[in-house]
Chains A and B, each alone.
Chain A
Amino acid sequence: MQLVVEARGIHKHFGAVHVLKGVDLLLAERELAFVIGPSGSGKSTLLRCLNRLEEPSSGSIIVDGVDLLDARTDINRARQRIGMVFQSFNLYPHMTALGNVTLALRKVAGKPRDEADALGRAALARVGLADHAGHTPGQLSGGQQQRVAIARAIALEPRVMLFDEPTSALDPELVGSVLGVMRDLRESGMAMVVVSHEMGFARNAADRVLFMDEGVIVEAGTPAQIFEAPAQERTRTFIGQIQKH
């Protein structure tokens, strides 16, 4: 099977704090890996290492055949192939939704404006916001903003999408629309790594669930294995805690 992400032996130190202690993450094409774990377990840091927003202290990361940690790699070029969606959306407030989506298409992919606009509108249509192209982020709800952020990433046709707690900043009634878009994306065959607390989504959309704690992957398996029959005590405790609510 073709691997889209091949991360091995990732260590990350923040000063004296050892955040990632030798993490491996292999992701096949069309696969959705769902990362859970208590806060401070290193799951967001792991995700941010996968497009080198964080510089790993050691290890190797190969995405779509490109060695991200090789000094000769053009990281800006490589990042086009790795979409990322953030907890706080991070839309550019001074641009319209379409402007947000087309900026990298024009500046990085080098598309002329009309072609970029066409691709941008298509991406906005995919997240159900075709008629919001001219709105600025301030005129959109949180759920709509996050969908624009997803459109901004998928417009570049990435090989893998990284989601960093994409619904944590949303009001509960807006979560569904974002998860719906993520589900569509999954069905279209996009490889995805999702860090989230949406266990319902994990159960019916994830191929694999990885439980992280204190900088290591404690346990990985199908949603059924991890949620119904965790092998490790720590996993069991964590699953027990989140299911109490």
Chain B
Amino acid sequence: MTAWDRFLETFFNPAVMGRYLPDIVKGTVLTIELAALVIVSGLVLGLALALVRSLGFRPLNLLIVFVVDLFRALPPLVIIVFIYFGLPAAGVPNWGFVSTWLSLTLVLMAFSEEIYWAGITSIPKGQWEAARSTGLSYGQTLLTVILPQALRLTIPPLTNRTIAITKGTALASVVAVGEILGVASSAVSNSYNPSPLTLAAVAYLILFFPLVVFGRWLETRMAWKR
């Protein structure tokens, strides 16, 4: 057996790949579900926090900034393990899935809040004044004049940050979730062959490569034209 054959046997073993492909597909579906949940809840909560922060109520804002900084500073894996083992709800069904969802939601919420906030504050004061001078209320001005402009500015950084955090779904393998990396790892243990990891890598590429390209396209597309 040549070295090349051994390499193929190790990482591209057709028999092993065939046997575990259904598991990997199942894991991919679970990853998509987890990612979708994280993206929706994280981006919505982040926007909600940014809107509350724009009200300018100081004690509340200090709290928001503290929470945001906390979840930006902690490594996502630490948060996942902390919630998984630390919260009293440990032991409920799918707790690994739920704790990963919660953790990554908090992280995405924190980073996206900062991005939304930067967008809102970058809109010139004159936009507020013009809208308020015609009788629009604070809320109407925020929703119809400020946010549409701010969101446009935030789409490129938001996309990149969302991709980065969504990849963190792989961390769920640590808390026994059967997402892509989780099923691939157990397949490796069971078959004594790393080929399932190759399948996992391909699955991640299929999932995230289009997203990365989409993010790059958005960045050029959304560059502010005056």
Beyond A88-B126, A138-B226, whether A108 also contacts B152 by CB under 8 A is no
What is the 8 Å Cβ interface bit string for chain B, positions 130-167, against chain A (1 contact, 0 not)?
Answer: 11111111001000110011001000000000000000
Out of B130, B140, B144, B148, name the residue touching A86 (CB < 8 Å): B130
State A209–B134 Cα separation when bound (angstroms): 26
Chain A residues with a Cβ closer than 8 Å to the other chain, count: 27
State A53–B148 Cα separation when bound (angstroms): 23
- Is the C-beta of B127 less than 8 angstroms from some C-beta in chain A? yes
State A2–B215 Cα separation when bound (angstroms): 61
Neighbouring B residues of A91 by C-beta, 8 Å: 130
Segment 83-113 of A: residues with Cβ below 8 Å from B: 83-84, 86, 88, 90-94, 103-104, 107-109
**Are B132 and A53 in contact, CB atoms less than 8 angstroms apart?**
yes
Shortest Cβ distance from A91 into B: residue? B130
Beyond A86-B130, A90-B130, A92-B130, whether A80 also contacts B135 by CB under 8 A is yes
- Is the C-beta of B129 less than 8 angstroms from some C-beta in chain A? yes
State A78–B135 Cα separation when bound (angstroms): 7
State A76–B136 Cα separation when bound (angstroms): 6
Out of B127, B133, B137, B140, name the residue touching A92 (CB < 8 Å): B127
State A86–B137 Cα separation when bound (angstroms): 19
- Is the C-beta of A152 less than 8 angstroms from some C-beta in chain B? yes
Segment 135-174 of A: residues with Cβ below 8 Å from B: 138, 149, 152-153, 156
**Are A82 and B133 in contact, CB atoms less than 8 angstroms apart?**
yes
Beyond A93-B149, A107-B140, A138-B225, whether A80 also contacts B134 by CB under 8 A is yes
Neighbouring B residues of A149 by C-beta, 8 Å: 130
State A51–B126 Cα separation when bound (angstroms): 15
- Is the C-beta of A77 less than 8 angstroms from some C-beta in chain B? yes
**Are B132 and A79 in contact, CB atoms less than 8 angstroms apart?**
yes
Neighbouring B residues of A90 by C-beta, 8 Å: 124, 126-127, 129-130
**Are B133 and A94 in contact, CB atoms less than 8 angstroms apart?**
no
**Are B136 and A92 in contact, CB atoms less than 8 angstroms apart?**
no
Neighbouring B residues of A79 by C-beta, 8 Å: 132-135
Neighbouring A residues of B226 by C-beta, 8 Å: 93, 138
**Are A86 and B136 in contact, CB atoms less than 8 angstroms apart?**
no
Neighbouring A residues of B130 by C-beta, 8 Å: 84, 86, 90-92, 149, 152
Most buried by A among B124, B136, B225: B136
Neighbouring B residues of A152 by C-beta, 8 Å: 130, 134
Neighbouring B residues of A93 by C-beta, 8 Å: 149, 226
The 9 closest A-B pairs by CB, nearest first: A104-B134, A90-B130, A90-B126, A108-B135, A84-B133, A79-B135, A80-B135, A76-B135, A94-B148
What are 5 A-B contacts defined by CB distance under 8 Å?
A: A79-B134, A80-B135, A83-B133, A84-B133, A90-B127
